[in-house]
Structure 1
Amino acid sequence: MRIGVIGAGAIGGTIAALLDRVGHLVEVTARGEQLAAIRADGLRLDGGWGVHTARVAAAERLQTRPELVFVCTKAQDAEAAIRDNAALLDGITVVVVQNGLAGLRVATELLPGSDCVGALALYAASYLSPGRVSVTTTANTYLGAGDGEPPASAVEAARILDAAMPSFAVENFTGCQWTKLIVNQVNAMPAITGLSAQATLGGRELRPIITASLQEAVRIGIARGVRFGSIQGLDDRILRFVASSPRWLAQVVPLLMRRRMGATPNPGSTLQSIRRGQLSEIDYLNGAVVAEARAIGREAPVNAALTGLVHEVEATKAFIPPAEVARRLAPLLAR
């Protein structure tokens, strides 16, 4: 099958390499050093799902019309990437694999003639050097659209992807997007401190802050009428328990998240972007919680503060020590 992958970074590179390994004809888009490395030496995958070098076609834009396409850019780059490739996407299934809440909506608006579905990648992968992607934690990918049963296109795309990596079509995809947004609460602190996700989740100074941001995000979701989907060991019942629990008790969830990540240090996608000198997608993660709160006349001060600290690191190129992070956010945690 001819499959396109728009954005061959950590997530897209993993998808492309594994689909190539099971025999699909894969074409990817990339830029700069990543594009040059893939053209010269292939797309090299290692880590949790084994080792494979995918010799795939690569260019800044898709060159041939695929039968199925995965959009795997950072959230802030999705609209431009879809517009750049729109001529080849009309009438096919487009799977948007992104963090945040906006990706599937944007694709649906830009591609009215295409069958757009969303996907949530729960595995962790790192793109630490051009042409090489390493899977640090294996996990499932979930596909769907809307609040009800998964559409037929999501079921078929999940079937194809499942031959390469564990993938499932799920109901209540909107609720699952919100649960993934809660999971992504672990991304900000590594980007702020330069530490791994496991280190920040395990740190006594930082874990209460992550817990507070997680609780805040869940409470905003509840206020928005969200029924959280069941993924990554979290579901509506557990998250509502987290929202209503004292912070000392709710910290059990970040600790469980840390355990699920395993021993291999996970930098998180936001920190990876900062290390490469790129703008992160924090405005679509913690920033999305802030936006959802404002939409109902509320505030999300912890998520707003974390978003601001990530932007500070982006601007100054200097990580902030955990003790300083704790000092700055102490007034918010005292509320």
Structure 2
Amino acid sequence: MPERIIVVGGGAIGGVAAAQMTNAGHDVTVLDADHRHVASLRDPGLRFEEVDGQVSRRRLRAVADPADLTGHFDFALLTVKSLALRPAVTPLVEAGLVDTYVALGNGLVQDLVRSLVGRDRLIVGLIEWGATNLGPGHLQQTTDAPTVVGELDGSSTERLARLQRILASIAEAKTTATIASQVWTKLLLNSTFSGLGAAGGCLYRDVAADPVGREVALQLWREGYDTARALGMTLGEVFATPADQLVIRDATDHVAAEEALDRLMVRAGPTKASMLQDLQRSRPTEVDVINGGVVEAARNIGREAPLNAEITRIIHEIESGAFQAGPEAFCRLARVSANVGAR
């Protein structure tokens, strides 16, 4: 019997995933709270622009209310943002509708999902390909890159192999025994440059081009790196740049770290942080599971992450209108860094 899949969140990532899986013949249902978007997905169907420029339209099975779901699902792909996870997932858990939940969100969102569904029902994944939401029922896949999934304990399971086969209809799909470390590797990039890009109101490359922003970025990178290592994580490459090459321990490391940062910006520089996009649309950000996630993880092992804590404060102030995104954010962070160094 073919697997049934529910995609929780029909936005850019979820909608593209649902379209690709449906095109491949999988039994897919989309759950999304936006009634207008759901109506468009049903009829006339999702307008889907692929990476190669091809445009197609695909009618999807979609509902806005969990009460309208029927039957049982083998996998739930969770693509909603962290703030929407609890209200989206709780009805599914309470009704016992899903065997395995797949956390695909940003930051340390898997910790929240685990608290909602239980460790035994959780697989964690990273989506490397990109997509954008062009309007109700209109999505575009912008890049083609792998999806990586793994069991939290690193085991190779039958359900993981099944999930890999399903996800291969979207993009290249890989399994890994080190998903937690890979999550932290991605988080290191996001907590540094998504955080600073959102706080500074600029692209990643603009952070690196600002003298204060650049220095703060390297200090923030070290703070996140040291937190991850203290948790036992082995960090890999970020856009083909080994994570440890950006870590400054003393003056002799500075030149090498600067060169590594320049190499990283060749690939990552044009990125506009998703948190900055949220701020520009007056929407809440996911800072609490990105920079705030680093802070909480550090606190849980008796450490501090003062720069990540300050970014979290700054972004919440921008959300409330108490602070304006811009270079002054870098100066605030530099002052925090100076105070930490003076201890």
Distance 1:276 1:257, change over 3 A: same
Gaps spanning 5+ residues in structure 1: where? none
Structure 2 counterpart SS, 1:256? helix
Following the alignment from structure 1 to structure 2, what is the Cα–Cα distance between the partners of residues 53 and 252? 45
Give the aligned residue type for 2:24. V
Deviation at 1:26, TM superposition (A): 2.2
Following the alignment from structure 2 to structure 1, what is the Cα–Cα distance between the partners of residues 86 and 296? 19
Gaps spanning 5+ residues in structure 2: where? none
Following the alignment from structure 1 to structure 2, what is the Cα–Cα distance between the partners of residues 207 and 166? 34
Asked if the contact 1:197/1:268 (under 8 Å) is kept, the reply is: yes
Among 64, 84, 88, which residue is 1:81 paired with? Answer: 88
Deviation at 1:328, TM superposition (A): 2.1
Deviation at 1:214, TM superposition (A): 1.6
Among 34, 44, 48, which residue is 1:45 paired with? Answer: 48
Distance 1:230 1:329, change over 3 A: closer
The sequence identity of aligned pairs, in percent, is 29
Following the alignment from structure 1 to structure 2, what is the Cα–Cα distance between the partners of residues 127 and 307? 26
Residue 5 (structure 1) aligns with: 7
Q: Does 1:242 align with 2:224?
A: no
Structure 1 counterpart SS, 2:288? helix
Deviation at 1:203, TM superposition (A): 4.4
- What CA deviation, in whole Å up to 9, does each residue of 1:213-263 have, x standing for no partner? 1211001111222223567535xxx3344335545532444433433348x
- What CA deviation, in whole Å up to 9, does each residue of 1:155-191 have, x standing for no partner? 2211211122111111111111211211212212332
Residue 328 (structure 1) aligns with: 332
Following the alignment from structure 1 to structure 2, what is the Cα–Cα distance between the partners of residues 201 and 151? 42
Residue 95 (structure 1) aligns with: 102
Residue 133 (structure 2) aligns with: 127
Distance 1:3 1:166, change over 3 A: same
Asked if the contact 2:103/2:109 (under 8 Å) is kept, the reply is: no
Residue 260 (structure 1) aligns with: 267
Structure 1 counterpart SS, 2:247? helix
Among 162, 165, 172, which residue is 2:168 paired with? Answer: 162
Cα RMSD of the aligned pairs, angstroms, is: 2.8
Residue 174 (structure 1) aligns with: 180
**Larger displacement relative to structure 2 (43-52 or 211-220):** 43-52
Structure 2 counterpart SS, 1:137? coil
Following the alignment from structure 2 to structure 1, what is the Cα–Cα distance between the partners of residues 103 and 24? 21
Residue 288 (structure 1) aligns with: 293
TM-score, with structure 2 as normaliser: 0.83
Structure 2 counterpart SS, 1:297? coil
Residue 56 (structure 1) aligns with: 60
Among 13, 17, 20, which residue is 1:18 paired with? Answer: 20
Distance 1:127 1:251, change over 3 A: farther
Asked if the contact 2:76/2:100 (under 8 Å) is kept, the reply is: yes
Deviation at 1:109, TM superposition (A): 4.4
Distance 1:141 1:333, change over 3 A: same
